[in-house]
Chain A
Amino acid sequence: MNNLVKSFLSFVLVLLALIATAKVLAIGEIYDFSSPELLERYEELTKELRCPKCQNQNLSDSVSEISDDLRREIHLMLEQGQTDQQIKDFLVARYGTFVLYNPPAAGSTLWVWLIPVFFALAGSFLVWRVLLQAKQRPIIAEGDEEDLL
């Protein structure tokens, strides 16, 4: 095996090892929950909510202090019996809709939802047009191909 392939393979191995350990490391404090259902909701919420400081990390992955605080608060609110919606509202009232990775389909964030729909429709329309034209174009006989080039 030549050296280049070897070094590439060892690089891939190291990378895989790093990814594997990253998954094992739990971040921040580990909370006890009174029921497995609460733990499940906690994990879902912290994955769904964004760390206000780090812009592109969710609360469950972030090591920043503020994420620690927010996780602590979410744990507390879950144990107090608050609903997911109440918890999200609490955070939005303080940090804005920014903390929601899924922005609400209203107000300033409405276009985020509408534009992809528009592009999907426009794209489908284009594909349909191209296909239609291809269908209407006369089929070229094999011998004629050279003339076209």
Chain B
Amino acid sequence: MSVFFYFALQMRENRAVDELTSVLVDKPFPDFQLPGLHNDFHTQAELAQGQVTLVNVWGSWCPSCRDEHPYLTQLVEQGVPLVGMNYKDTPEAALDWLDYFGDIYAYHIQDRDGRLGLNLGVYGAPETFIVDKQGVIRYKRVGVVNERVWESEMKQVYLQYGGLINE
């Protein structure tokens, strides 16, 4: 009996995580028209312009976002397109953060009230999406992106959909 419950619990844990991460995979990136952080403006259409893109949900309030910043920098140096989704933040705090840590992003989408986040099933930061050339979400990472996660899971998806890396 206890063996049964042990396995049932294990299954349940895995299922919970899988379900939270997989619902939006293979669905188009939700529609949005939102300001950036540099007096600019962005829409969903920009994510469907023929390159595989990482969309990184971040906030100046998020400690783990600092942890993953050096590795994201490495990916950008290898030519991986990176878009920031500045989540539940103020532009002032976000720009200070970028000044300090370095703005490695192609541009930012400002999701101040978390509505786009809600449509993306975001429930914290950092989270990172791989969006394909047609603007379809192909992968979602909840938590920090590091070398282990990139090499073991994300790189494969990124390359599979035609993402480019400068070796």
Contacts and interface: CB of A to CB of B under 8 A. Distances in A.
Interface of A: 52-53, 55, 65-66, 69-70, 73, 92-98, 108, 115
Interface string B53-80: 0000000000000000000000000000
Nearest to A96: B19
B118 interface: yes
B26 to A, nearest CB: 13
Interface secondary structure of A, over-half rule: helix
B41 interface: no
Name the 7 nearest CB pairs between A and B, nearest first: A96-B19, A94-B121, A96-B23, A52-B123, A53-B123, A66-B123, A98-B19
B98 to A, nearest CB: 22
Contacts of A73: 118
B23 A69 contact: no
Interface of B: 8, 15-16, 19-20, 22-24, 88, 113-115, 117-124
B117 A69 contact: yes
Given A69-B115, A92-B23, 6 more contacts: A52-B121, A52-B123, A73-B118, A94-B119, A96-B20, A108-B15
B19 A53 contact: no
Given A55-B16, A98-B16, A70 B22 contact: no
Nearest to B117: A69
Contact of B22 (A55, A65, A96): A96
B31 to A, nearest CB: 14
A52 B118 CA distance: 11
Contact of B118 (A53, A94, A96, A97): A94
A98 B16 CA distance: 6
